[in-house]
Amino acid sequence: MLHKKFNTIAQFVGYVTIGLLALYGLATLVGDGTVWAVLGQSAPPPAAPQAADALAPTTLGYVGYLKDDAGAPLNDVYTMTFRIYASAAITTPLWEETQPNVSVSGGVFNVVLGAGAPFSATLFADPDRYLGITVEGYGGELTPRQQFASVPYSLRSDRAGGLAAADGDPADAVVVDNAGNATFGGDVTVLGSMGDVAMSSATVSGHATMDSAAVSGSAIISDRVGIGTTSPTAELDVRGSRIQLKEDSSGDAITLGTWGDALDINFNDHLFLQGSGGSQIYLNPNGGDVGVGTNAPQATLHVSGTATVNGNITTTGDIHWDRNQGHLTGLKLTTEYEVISNESGTQSVQMVSSSNSMCFLTHVWFEDTEDDGEYAQCEIGTSGGYWVLYAHAVGTGFFDPYAYCQARCLQW
């Protein structure tokens, strides 16, 4: 009979206690408030303000009332075991703690749960949680188990639109909408010791400092973004030696970085840039060819289209371009030809075919042509289908006239 009545009384007192705790507020549930405060007597003086970064208590206060078989309150010290379950009937507890010296005076006992066996972070993640109590010497666990309930204002906590800063300004420092997107009104700093940060979507209007982050949705940052630095000086500030763009883990990659004082771009296949108008620049790293207006360059520099140069073109080799509707093709400047005549009449040298070419003098030098009838001359003519460079020198007096002639030809 003692066991049966004890169960009934414990059940009754437990429900009354939880109900009164709910009416009293959250402070009584998570602190060590007594049954007297629960029953409505004067509340204790307010606690001193905590620092902004102080943590909430991690224990749970519980008050119960025990009577014997005759209804008289018990007075003794008992060993009690407290268990938290996911349902009223399941046999495996989610949490368990045994307290060996629980003092019961006038039927009332007051314990702090979670001090010996700390609660896990996910213990109260589900709304269905039940408390079971076993008192040593009184058989098995008291029945029925008591279901945890919310205090009035905590019913709003899972629907809160935002969290205020420690001093209350701003009121919505962190806002989470119905889709699970988080908006941060200030700076966000996540230390490496706290692990990685994974977000489906985030909006940060201040600075976001994270050692590691994974964002599967949109990341909207209205301020500067720094990679490798906590003090970015531009909209995107990367402090490091490499930036890599890669389609997937096994695909080709483009790596942008630094090599000494120069900019280094490495890629597996090619670099291809194209504007909205269709113009393009193509760089083939394997062959070293560059195409402008074509993605199939046939030379070190291949321009498909019109090229305008506002300045000089200097080359140590030949200049070639394709014929297009009568334009020149294969333009080539020959090496220099030279011929000398020293009072020996006319000397000549054959140059290139006179077909698709033209030749011109590049240098002349005459000496000792003071006397009447003496002369020196350089000229270009044709003979037998070829351009010919001539040097003439004729002397009549003491000094021998001298002619030195040079020419080059342009072929196409």
Question: How far apart, in whole angstroms, are the C-alpha atoms of residue 409 and residue 353?
Answer: 10
Q: Pick from 89, 119, 153: which residue ends a domain?
A: 153
Which residues of the chain have a pLDDT value below 70? 1-56, 153-162, 164-168, 171-172, 178-180, 185-208, 216, 250-252, 258-280, 284-287, 316-330, 369-372, 397-399
Chain-centre distance of CA 249, in angstroms?
Answer: 16
- The residue whose two tokens read 């018990």 is 74
The pLDDT, as a whole number, for residue 7 is 43
Overall domain count for the chain: 4
338 Cβ neighbours under 8 A, 6+ residues apart: 349, 389, 404, 405, 406, 407
The pLDDT, as a whole number, for residue 389 is 97
- Asked if the structure places residue 398 within a domain, the reply is yes
Q: Pick from 204, 219, 240: which residue ends a domain?
A: 240
Regarding whether 295 and 182 lie in a shared domain, the answer is no
- Asked if the structure places residue 327 within a domain, the reply is no
- Asked if the structure places residue 352 within a domain, the reply is yes
Q: Pick from 305, 321, 348: which residue ends a domain?
A: 305
Chain-centre distance of CA 129, in angstroms?
Answer: 41
Regarding whether 139 and 16 lie in a shared domain, the answer is yes
Regarding whether 175 and 116 lie in a shared domain, the answer is no
123 Cβ neighbours under 8 A, 6+ residues apart: 84, 94, 95, 129
Regarding whether 206 and 69 lie in a shared domain, the answer is no
Q: pTM score, two decimals?
A: 0.36
Regarding whether 350 and 397 lie in a shared domain, the answer is yes
List pLDDT tens digits, range 321-377.
554 544 455 678 899 999 999 877 899 999 999 998 999 999 999 887 666 678 888
Question: How far apart, in whole angstroms, are the C-alpha atoms of residue 209 and residue 216?
Answer: 18
Q: Are 388 and 355 in contact (CB under 8 A)?
A: no
Q: Are 259 and 270 in contact (CB under 8 A)?
A: no
Regarding whether 11 and 146 lie in a shared domain, the answer is yes
Question: How far apart, in whole angstroms, are the C-alpha atoms of residue 133 and residue 83?
Answer: 6
- Asked if the structure places residue 326 within a domain, the reply is no
Nearest residue to 407 (alpha-carbon basis) of 341, 356, 361, 339: 361
Regarding whether 186 and 136 lie in a shared domain, the answer is no
Question: How far apart, in whole angstroms, are the C-alpha atoms of residue 236 and residue 227?
Answer: 8
- Asked if the structure places residue 13 within a domain, the reply is yes
Regarding whether 164 and 121 lie in a shared domain, the answer is no
- Asked if the structure places residue 176 within a domain, the reply is yes
Output b/e per residue, 121-153; b: 16+ Cβ within 10 A: eeeeeeeebbbbbbbeebeebbeebbbeeebee
1 Cβ neighbours under 8 A, 6+ residues apart: 69
Regarding whether 9 and 100 lie in a shared domain, the answer is yes
- Asked if the structure places residue 321 within a domain, the reply is no
Residue 286 domain boundaries: 250-305
Nearest residue to 210 (alpha-carbon basis) of 74, 128, 221, 261: 221
Question: How far apart, in whole angstroms, are the C-alpha atoms of residue 78 and residue 83?
Answer: 16
The pLDDT, as a whole number, for residue 351 is 96
Regarding whether 144 and 6 lie in a shared domain, the answer is yes
The pairing of beta strand 386-394 with beta strand 375-383 = antiparallel
Regarding whether 64 and 30 lie in a shared domain, the answer is yes
Question: How far apart, in whole angstroms, are the C-alpha atoms of residue 179 and residue 31?
Answer: 34
- Asked if the structure places residue 68 within a domain, the reply is yes
**Burial class (CB within 10 angstroms; exposed 0-12, middle 13-18, buried 19+) of 339:** buried
Regarding whether 37 and 132 lie in a shared domain, the answer is yes
